[in-house]
Structure 1
Amino acid sequence: MSFKIAIIGAGSVGFTKKLFTDILCVPEFRDIEFALTDINEHNLQMIKPILDKIVESNRLPTRVTATTNRREALTSARYIISCVRVGGLEAYADDIRIPLKYGIDQCVGDTICAGGILYGQRNIPVILDFCKDIREVAEPGAKFLNYANPMAMNTWAAIEYGKVDTVGLCHGVQHGAEQIADVLGAKSRSDLDYICSGINHQTWFIDLRLHGRKIGKDELVAAFEAHPVFSQQEKLRIDVLKRFGVYSTESNGHLSEYLPWYRKRPEEITRWIDMSDWIHGETGGYLRHSTETRNWFETEFPQFLASAEKPIDPSKRSNEHASHILEALETNRVYRGHFNVKNNGVITNLPADAIIESPGFVDRFGINMVSGITIPEACAATCIASINVQRMSVHAAISGDLDLLKLAVLHDPLVGAISTPEEVWQMVDEMVVAQAGWLPQYADAIPAAKERLAKSTVKTRDWAGAARRNVRSIDELRAEKAALKQAV
């Protein structure tokens, strides 16, 4: 087989390498072309030699190109994968820093809440530019695989306004299933069968079976509470499991910021999170992790390049969906996964226009979703609250309506649990002014926002958050990795 895959945001070095090697684990895909594109020439010059080394070491005919010209990369592409982070770490820092001034403490801030909503405002105009290029220069019928957050908003915009065949992909379901298999003592992940359904980052394991035996709430709670690690790292998720009756796919830290109950007061945050790793609830945890990862790649680049000489091992193919979807579409080997698509009745008690995440099967006919799923009422209520925020956020990003953007933030569950309307109005003004360079749709509204900020009487505070850690230096990271290696 010979076709072209374009990867937008290919400067995400580690993730791009993973997708690349996964795809090349499919024997039929050895003779394809990868077109890498990124606005950052430096990042492209880091990833291309790594992928070239993989191709050379494995003696493959695979072709790899790299360019900052996106339309060139997308020309004649059959599949387009997006891994972009619009605004980079600079804008992301504002997504965390500014809400903290108003008492809003986020762990990740890339899905909803104040940070995720503004992230969507930066992403959506760019996503629509991608879609325009795909329609105009990609292979007819090209498929857009979106990995970028905020997943639901980006996918919603691409489908509804970009008019491109789009699927959103995330690994939260797989990671949640790995945890459940672990606590239940499964010898292999294949021993566990499950149906997981909801919306991205709020997906719920509504049916669990181990060796065909149905697993109920009480058994799962007992298994998690008895686990020496997860009982401490996932306290919030276990509490939600007890109250809702089903386990959430998303990490302790992520889930905490989608709900109005666990991060509304500093003392509550420290009660429910765990500081052993960023993902369990640390203030700005993913921002710290991303900053450290970037610094690590920059410093340790020769080491990453050397590791690319290893042979591709199909047994180590990851559970990221992309390679499995492409394999199913091209070879008709059926793949079952969980995908982000427009609802249209797939989940009976969520809105038809929402982007849901639910089971589907892929073959040469496309992605075929399992329809008619009904999720528990409490799960639906939680999802609908987020969907309403996502809908307003997408519409605001498309129209450049600053008042609608403020209403979207006001209706966010965690923001609403903490902030007054006056605080929300000022916070959004402050965020759009700080990020004006990435928000072209709000250009006409920025001058008035600056004037309001100059006259504002709403008080803010200088607060690092309830559980903040400093970014570690390269030397500290090296020492930690060496200690872990010695311990093993």
Structure 2
Amino acid sequence: MSFKIAIIGAGSVGFTKKLFTDILCVPEFKDIEFALTDVSEHNLAMIKAILDRIVEANKLPTKVTATTNRREALEGARYIISCVRVGGLEAYADDIRIPLKYGIDQCVGDTICAGGILYGQRNIPVILDFCKDIREVAAAGAKFLNYANPMAMNTWAAIEYGKVDTVGLCHGVQHGAEQIAQVLGAKSPKELDYVCSGINHQTWFIELKLNGRPIGKDELISAFEAHPVYSKQEKLRIDVLKRFGVYSTESNGHLSEYLPWYRKRPDEIARWIDMSDWIHGETGGYLRYSTETRNWFETEYPQFLEAASKPIDSAKRSNEHASHILEALETNRVYRGHFNVKNNGVITNLPQDAIIESPGFVDRFGINMAAGITLPEACAATCMASINVQRMSVHAAIAGDIDLLKLAVLHDPLVGAVSTPEEVWQMVDEMVVAQAQWLPQYAHAVPAAKERLSKSKVKTREWAGAARRSVRSIEELRAEKAALKQAG
């Protein structure tokens, strides 16, 4: 087979390498072309050198090109994969820092909450530019695979306003299933059969079977509480399981910021989170991790390049959806996964226009969703709160409507539990002014926002958060890795 895959945001070096090697694990895909594009020439050069080394080491005919000209990369592409972060770590730092001034403590801030909503405002105009290029220069019927957060908002904009065949992809369901299989004592995650449905980062394991045997709520609670690691790392998730009756896909830290109950009081946050790793609830944890990862990669790049000389091992193909979807579409080998698509009746008790994440099957006819799923009422209610925020956020981003943006932030569950309307109005003004360079649709609103800020009497505070850690130096990271290697 010979076709072209374009990867936008290919400077996300580690993830691009994973996608690349996964796809080349499909025997029929050796002759394809990968067109890499990014706004950073530096990152592009690094990832192209790594992928060229993989191609050379494995004696493959695969073609790899790299360009900062996005339209050139998209020209003739059958598949387009996006893993962009508009504004990079600079804008992301404001997504965490500014809400903290108003008492809003986020672990990740990339899905909803104040940070996730502003992240969507930065991404959506760029996503629509991608879609315009796809319509104009990509292959007829090209499919857009979006890995970028905020997943639901980006996918919603691409489908509804970009008018491109789009599917959103995430690995939360796979990771949750691996946890459940582990606590139940399964030898392999493949022993676990499940139905998981909801919206991205709020997906729910509504049916579980281990080797054909149904697993109920009480057995699952007992298994998690007895686990020596997860009982400490997933305290909030286990509490939600007890109250809702089903387990959520999302990590302890992520889930904590989508709900209005666990992060609203600083003195309560420590009760529900675990500081053994960022993902369990640390304030600004993913920002710290992302910063350390970038610094580590820049410093240790020669080692990454050397590792690229190893043969591709198809046994180590990851469970990221992209390669499996492409394989199913191109070879008709059926793949079952969980996909972010417009609801259109798939989940009976969520809105038709919402972007849901639910089971589907892929073959040469496309992605076929399993319809007629009904969520438990509490799960649907929690999803609805987020969907309403997502819808307003998308509409605000499209229209450049700062008043609607403020209403979206006001209706966010955690923001609403922490902040007053006056604080929300000022916080949004402050975030829009700080991120103006990435928010072209709000250029007309920035002068008035600056004027309001100059006259505001709403009090703020400089607060690091309830559970903040400093970014570690390269030397500290090296020492930690050496200690872990010695202990293991």
Alpha-carbon distance in structure 2 between the residues aligned to 1:193 and 1:411: 36
Alpha-carbon distance in structure 1 between the residues aligned to 2:4 and 2:145: 14
Which amino acid is the alignment partner of residue 271 of structure 2? R
Alpha-carbon distance in structure 1 between the residues aligned to 2:268 and 2:205: 26
1:97 aligns with 2:97: yes
How far has the Cα of 1:412 moved from its partner?
Answer: 0.1
Give me the TM-score of the superposition, normalised by structure 1: 1.00
2:167 is aligned to 167
How far has the Cα of 1:423 moved from its partner?
Answer: 0.2
2:53 is aligned to 53
Alpha-carbon distance in structure 2 between the residues aligned to 1:217 and 1:258: 22
2:227 is aligned to 227
2:473 is aligned to 473
Output aligned runs, 1:16-27, within 5 Å: 16-27=16-27
2:293 is aligned to 293
1:449 is aligned to 449
2:388 is aligned to 388
The Cα offsets for residues 310-366 of structure 1, whole Å up to 9 and x where unpaired, read as: 100000000000000000000000000000000000000000000000000000000
Does the residue aligned with 2:39 lie in a helix, a strand or coil? coil
2:238 is aligned to 238
2:315 is aligned to 315
Output aligned runs, 1:185-334, within 5 Å: 185-334=185-334
Which amino acid is the alignment partner of residue 263 of structure 1? R
1:124 aligns with 2:127: no
The Cα offsets for residues 402-429 of structure 1, whole Å up to 9 and x where unpaired, read as: 0000000000000000000000000000
1:176 is aligned to 176
Does the residue aligned with 1:483 lie in a helix, a strand or coil? helix
Does the residue aligned with 1:444 lie in a helix, a strand or coil? helix
2:363 is aligned to 363
User: Percent same amino acid among aligned pairs?
Assistant: 89
The Cα offsets for residues 202-242 of structure 1, whole Å up to 9 and x where unpaired, read as: 00000000000000000000000000000000000000000
1:71 is aligned to 71
2:111 is aligned to 111
Which amino acid is the alignment partner of residue 469 of structure 1? R
Which amino acid is the alignment partner of residue 470 of structure 2? N
Which amino acid is the alignment partner of residue 126 of structure 1? V
What is the CA RMSD across the aligned residues, in angstroms?
Answer: 0.2
Alpha-carbon distance in structure 1 between the residues aligned to 2:437 and 2:269: 33
Does the residue aligned with 2:444 lie in a helix, a strand or coil? coil
1:9 aligns with 2:9: yes
1:144 is aligned to 144
How far has the Cα of 1:268 moved from its partner?
Answer: 1.1
Does the residue aligned with 2:295 lie in a helix, a strand or coil? helix
The Cα offsets for residues 282-335 of structure 1, whole Å up to 9 and x where unpaired, read as: 000000000000001100000000000110000000000000000000000000
1:418 is aligned to 418
2:440 is aligned to 440
Does the residue aligned with 1:461 lie in a helix, a strand or coil? coil
Alpha-carbon distance in structure 2 between the residues aligned to 1:314 and 1:441: 45
How far has the Cα of 1:267 moved from its partner?
Answer: 1.2
Does the residue aligned with 2:236 lie in a helix, a strand or coil? helix
Alpha-carbon distance in structure 2 between the residues aligned to 1:200 and 1:267: 29
How far has the Cα of 1:165 moved from its partner?
Answer: 0.1
Which amino acid is the alignment partner of residue 410 of structure 1? L
Alpha-carbon distance in structure 1 between the residues aligned to 2:414 and 2:455: 27
1:135 is aligned to 135
Does the residue aligned with 2:270 lie in a helix, a strand or coil? helix
2:34 is aligned to 34
Alpha-carbon distance in structure 1 between the residues aligned to 2:89 and 2:338: 29
Which amino acid is the alignment partner of residue 365 of structure 1? F
Which amino acid is the alignment partner of residue 8 of structure 2? I
Does the residue aligned with 1:300 lie in a helix, a strand or coil? helix
Alpha-carbon distance in structure 1 between the residues aligned to 2:212 and 2:348: 26
Alpha-carbon distance in structure 2 between the residues aligned to 1:3 and 1:120: 31
Does the residue aligned with 1:443 lie in a helix, a strand or coil? helix
How far has the Cα of 1:440 moved from its partner?
Answer: 0.3
The number of equivalent residue pairs is: 488
User: Please, which runs of 5 or more residues in structure 2 have no aligned partner?
Assistant: none
Alpha-carbon distance in structure 2 between the residues aligned to 1:364 and 1:68: 32
How far has the Cα of 1:375 moved from its partner?
Answer: 0.6
1:401 is aligned to 401
Which amino acid is the alignment partner of residue 310 of structure 1? K
How far has the Cα of 1:269 moved from its partner?
Answer: 0.7
The Cα offsets for residues 420-444 of structure 1, whole Å up to 9 and x where unpaired, read as: 0000000000000000000000000
Alpha-carbon distance in structure 1 between the residues aligned to 2:170 and 2:40: 24
Which amino acid is the alignment partner of residue 286 of structure 2? Y
The Cα offsets for residues 78-136 of structure 1, whole Å up to 9 and x where unpaired, read as: 00000000000000000000000000000000000000000000000000000000000
Which amino acid is the alignment partner of residue 20 of structure 2? F
Does the residue aligned with 1:176 lie in a helix, a strand or coil? helix
Stretches of 4+ moved more than 3 A in 1? none
1:379 aligns with 2:379: yes
How far has the Cα of 1:275 moved from its partner?
Answer: 0.1
Does the residue aligned with 1:356 lie in a helix, a strand or coil? strand
1:44 aligns with 2:38: no
2:153 is aligned to 153
Which amino acid is the alignment partner of residue 27 of structure 1? P
